[in-house]
Structure 1
Amino acid sequence: MKLFLCGDVMTGRGIDQVLPHPSRPQLFESWVKSAVEYVALAERSAGPIGRGQDFGYPWGDALAVLAQQRPDARIVNLETAVTTSEDAQPGKGIHYRMHPGNVPCLARAAIDCCVLANNHVLDWGHAGLAQTLASLHGAGLRTAGAGGNAQEAAAPAVIALPQGRVLVFAFADESSGVPRGWAAGRTHGGVNLLESLSLHTADGICRAVAAQRKPGDVVVVSLHWGGNWGFEIPPEHSAFARRLLDGGGADIVHGHSSHHVKGIEVHGGKPILYGCGDFLNDYEGIGGYGEFRGELSLMYFPELDAATGKLQRLQAVPMRTRRLRLERAPAEGAAWLRTTLDREGRALGTRVVAADDGGALALAW
């Protein structure tokens, strides 16, 4: 069973402005008051972009990679609300939204599941969350990690395949910037927020997964955790992820929130992606943190034995964002990603080598 996983997919704000149905561009940021400014920043950095682009425009070369790799299921962390709500959360510095009319952008990449347990899905209030859920479900897209109440937010997305099911359980941690008040409750909507990153919490997830897991299921636990910058993996992240794998609560841990790639571990034959990095965003042209190469990203393609959940192979295709569009990373960027993951994986028992497939990287463990 081959999966496609990636880091944060943010198709709102500036990217939303170049699609066929741009939202009202008003923002409430300290320095930028219009989403159009993010388009201008990208154009000053790399050249003209234009407006009214095709729904497939932001995916760029990633569409050809997906066609070549042919994953059985495609799972992304969608880090934007999909709404026309004007209820911008007060006191929050950044608000992301994509117009519901631009949902075909996600369908264009044939996304199977949008993880919503993150720190931007409620940027435009509970009305914005409700419209996000309705827009995605109306387009046939599964969601995990947010819902109209706690039960819905905790329910896994179920992707049925000929060789078995993929269950996607999604959680957010306060360390990623999710306010405690965003947690879904018995009678109100919100995100599936972790109580803590304790082993006790991990054991509770394992029990919840066991209650729904059937023989042949592959379980993805998607976690929005940690800060935006820094390669260090907190000890509580490692202990939490390993406990999920050891306790049967996950076959793969899909971590995100960091704006750059982080090291990969294989524990008990099963992978932990501690931080997949940003995959698609409108940060182009913004200065700072250049040493982390946030414009570079990876398309992760883990292949798992459907009977055991064990990792058979993991390939990753280097990409970069340019002109608000994904393209294959240049040789220099691909080399940086390989060197960085190899360095960060050393303490985790993994190495990154060139794959047989042109330009792809492969994990060795």
Structure 2
Amino acid sequence: MPTQARPGGITLFLCGDLMTGRGIDQVLPHPGKPRLFEPWMRSALGYVQLAEETNGPIGRPVDFAYIWGDALDALRRTGPDLRIVNLETAVTASKDAWPGKGIHYRMHPANLPCLAAAGIDCCVLANNHVLDWGTQGLKETLDSLRRAGIATAGAGLDEAGAAAPALLDVPGKGRVWVFAWAMEDSGVPADWRAGPSRPGVNLLPDLGARSLESIAQQTRAAKRAGDLVLASIHWGGNWDFGISPQQRDFAHGLIDVAAVDLVHGHSSHHVKGIEIYCDKPILYGCGDLLNDYEGIRGHEQFRGDLALMYFPTLDEGRLTRFAITPTQIRHFRVNAAPESGVRWLVETLNRECRQFGTRVDRLGGPDLLLVRDPARVRSCGSCQR
């Protein structure tokens, strides 16, 4: 069964955290200074050593495409119109580590071609690592991505810039708006909030009605007939399958009230359940597509090494197909998940998706397909009107 989208719809590639800093930066062609300020690790090279002790040697330097591994085949096979990631690292050579923060991620700007190797169109920056190397690091991140022709959303040089969405055009098909927010419960310091003249993150204060109405004013002011709106939110902790009633109600409100067509949630280092609400997908937690955690012990029950590449297709604002590609992090690259990993992902997703009336089915090739049980799907306000 082919995974290619129908011609009329817009197919997106989405993933959770893409962490190209720290250890991964050290194996790329232009590693930055490896010094860290973590109580347990003083050099980013220590994470390379951990990974090699666990899974074998990593030839250095690797080329820019190396980190994507089998993901490049999945991208060619599926042919998404747009490619959107949550880039959870600063792109900077700044030496100004944010004081008092336990972990600092940075990738040298000269390694930015690693994003171009996968044709990334937009980086969400509303997360808890984009200011790890101070406001100068954020400024360099924004400038580096701009010069590379990659759109950004969720952080900026001031409050207005941080709140500004990215507008992505798909010739002959339409436009996609990417709005992005982060929440303190994902580890974002409160003083990272962008201000009228202060660089920072587009921080969402809470999941209340006032926040929802503020978002609705922004999205409805931007959206025109035929446009898609994606709401990308960095929320919640790193290790927990649970989805709070507040998160679920807020996600529904984004669709009902704010005219959002897809909710892209991230922060969890593992995959979480997926909902289809009013023919619109809600990803509550996408997991880490790439990180430098190989060799780090703890939380094994969540299988943070396994992840998903998400390929939703929307036509006139409604989900028409949702292909998913299972992956595994090994040797600081994205690999096709082994059969045992695919089985774990299928079982876990079907357990976590049951509450939403959705499930995943295996296709003939390497991909999965998200489907739903119409008898168990909750209607939304717009469906009832």
User: Which band: TM-score by shorter chain?
Assistant: over 0.9
Give the structure 2 partner of residue 329 of structure 1.
337
Structure 2 residue 132 is matched with structure 1 residue 123: yes
Give the structure 2 partner of residue 250 of structure 1.
260
1:218-272 deviations in Å (ceiling 9; x for gaps) = 1110000000001000111001100001114310000000000000011111110
Give the structure 2 partner of residue 182 of structure 1.
192
Selected match of 2:324 from 303, 316, 324: 316
Give the structure 2 partner of residue 355 of structure 1.
363
Q: Structure 2: any 5+ residue segments left out of the alignment?
A: 1-9, 373-385
Give the structure 2 partner of residue 229 of structure 1.
239
Structure 2 residue 46 is matched with structure 1 residue 40: no
Matches within 5 A, 1:69-218: 69-162=78-171, 163-218=173-228
Q: Structure 1: any 5+ residue segments left out of the alignment?
A: none
Structure 2 residue 77 is matched with structure 1 residue 68: yes
**Residues 203, 244 of structure 1: 8 Å contact kept:** no
1:188 is displaced (CA, Å) by: 1.1
Structure 2 residue 274 is matched with structure 1 residue 267: no
Structure 2 residue 295 is matched with structure 1 residue 285: yes
CA distance in 2, matches of 1:50, 1:27: 22
1:16-49 deviations in Å (ceiling 9; x for gaps) = 0000000100001111100001011111111110
SS of aligned partner of 2:136:
helix
SS of aligned partner of 1:315:
strand
1:355 is displaced (CA, Å) by: 2.3
Give the structure 1 partner of residue 378 of structure 2.
none
Structure 2 residue 365 is matched with structure 1 residue 343: no
**Residues 213, 258 of structure 2: 8 Å contact kept:** no
SS of aligned partner of 1:300:
strand
**Residues 58, 324 of structure 1: 8 Å contact kept:** yes
1:164-198 deviations in Å (ceiling 9; x for gaps) = 00110000011101011101111111000002111
1:32-74 deviations in Å (ceiling 9; x for gaps) = 1000010111111111102111001111110111011100000
Give the structure 1 partner of residue 26 of structure 2.
17
What CA RMSD, in Å, does the superposition of the two structures yield over aligned residues?
A: 0.7
1:51-98 deviations in Å (ceiling 9; x for gaps) = 111001111110111011100000000000000101101110000000
CA distance in 2, matches of 1:37, 1:339: 34
CA distance in 2, matches of 1:271, 1:248: 15
1:292-319 deviations in Å (ceiling 9; x for gaps) = 00000000000101x2x11111111000
**Residues 92, 109 of structure 2: 8 Å contact kept:** yes
CA distance in 2, matches of 1:58, 1:176: 25
SS of aligned partner of 2:37:
coil
Query: Could you tell me the percent identity over the aligned residues?
Result: 60
**Aligned length in residues:** 362
The amino acid across from 1:234 in the alignment is S
1:202 is displaced (CA, Å) by: 1.3
1:109-164 deviations in Å (ceiling 9; x for gaps) = 10000000000000000000000000110111100000001111111111111200
**Residues 265, 284 of structure 2: 8 Å contact kept:** yes
CA distance in 1, matches of 2:313, 2:25: 32
